[in-house]
Structure 1
């Protein structure tokens, strides 16, 4: 039941955000439209931003699982790129919806900041597998390699997303991600 209520709140909120903008929509409006009290809404979500970004923790885990499932012989950078396919393919399947969501995300400073914060947690999820593939110890602060690879790959994902938005999705996001990651790998 709890997941059903959460999903309903997200659906209602995204509809209101599309109509009124993120900043133009209040928590009270979302709660009323979803048939909840303000207090009930906050039992499901800590902040208004979390309504939009709540699924990102699961996305990070999915990417980390995809990375761990990549072939052993694959170099870490390529494994990272291929692990992002789970996100890229999902975005391609829901292109218009994803573009609208990402426009709201990138056009709203509070959402953008919170998204960046969530992506930092993705980095923490990716580092142990990258370290394992490199034969490194992820807990050693004097070895920044695994963290640098994870952070760089996520930066490539972010810049590819910005490019995808800029071209209004006319170039496949997979191609843009390939270009971004190739630019880093071949420099």
Structure 2
């Protein structure tokens, strides 16, 4: 068994991120395979580490629990989104910045398509972790809300926009990913996201038509 490099070890940022991403993907692939073969409850972290050819302590550098492997860790995509958003114009609308950042994940999504498919199948079958799934989804919503609030310079506790926009974006992303997984020869995730966003905008515009105009700030 080989010891995987510490993802926080000093190295050029791009190389360190790619190395950490490969290790994380390897852990996910091994865990999802074992969940499928032996069941979620019967699979141990020691077995996952052995299948991924890492030490058990390395597992915990990437995931706090095996539930986090099943659902995916929201902090990981949030970190990549944060890095992508930092390269966008400072005066750009935060939703546009997030949409562009999500579009940059096409390559990662394509590489891990099989894992995403297996994860969706397992989530539909594993009754024991329904509540944990809700917690992970809530954490992802908080991450998105925080990213939008930072970009706006707003307080999400008093300004409803960050949470409302995060909910809208999370919904369109979820629907886009479901369509992508169902259409193996179809468009890339970013193209589907753009399509869903445009149709959602049309629907929201129709919903708002005729409603009272918002009060001046």
User: Normalised by the size of structure 1, how large is the TM-score?
Assistant: 0.71
Where does 1:23-34 land on structure 2 (aligned, <5 Å)? Answer: 23=40, 25-27=42-44, 30=47, 33-34=50-51
Where does 1:12-23 land on structure 2 (aligned, <5 Å)? Answer: 12-20=30-38, 22-23=39-40
Closer, same or farther: CA 163–148 of 1 in aligned 2, 3 Å: same
One of 55, 72, 88 as aligned partner of 1:70: 88
- State the alpha-carbon separation in 2 of the partners of residues 12 and 159 from structure 1: 27
1:119 partnered with 2:118: no
Q: Aligned Cα RMSD in Å?
A: 3.6
- State the alpha-carbon separation in 1 of the partners of residues 85 and 49 from structure 2: 41
1:58 partnered with 2:76: yes
Contact 2:173–2:193 at 8 Å: present in 1 too?
A: yes
Q: Which moved more, 1:48-57 or 1:103-112?
A: 103-112
- State the alpha-carbon separation in 1 of the partners of residues 71 and 5 from structure 2: 15
- State the alpha-carbon separation in 2 of the partners of residues 77 and 89 from structure 1: 21
- State the alpha-carbon separation in 2 of the partners of residues 12 and 85 from structure 1: 27
Q: Which moved more, 1:148-157 or 1:87-96?
A: 87-96
Q: Which has the higher helix share?
A: 1
- State the alpha-carbon separation in 2 of the partners of residues 46 and 77 from structure 1: 30
Closer, same or farther: CA 31–70 of 1 in aligned 2, 3 Å: closer
1:185 partnered with 2:201: yes
**Aligned match of 2:15:** none
How many residues matched? 179
Where does 1:103-182 land on structure 2 (aligned, <5 Å)? Answer: 103-105=121-123, 108=126, 110=129, 112-132=133-153, 137-139=154-156, 141-168=157-184, 170-182=186-198
- State the alpha-carbon separation in 1 of the partners of residues 98 and 33 from structure 2: 33
Q: CA offsets, 1:75-119, max 9 Å, x none?
A: 333222111123333112443344334443455453643541341
Q: CA offsets, 1:144-184, max 9 Å, x none?
A: 01221122111111111122233346342222211221123
Gaps of 5+ in 2: 7-22, 204-217
Shift of 1:73: 4.3
Gaps of 5+ in 1: none
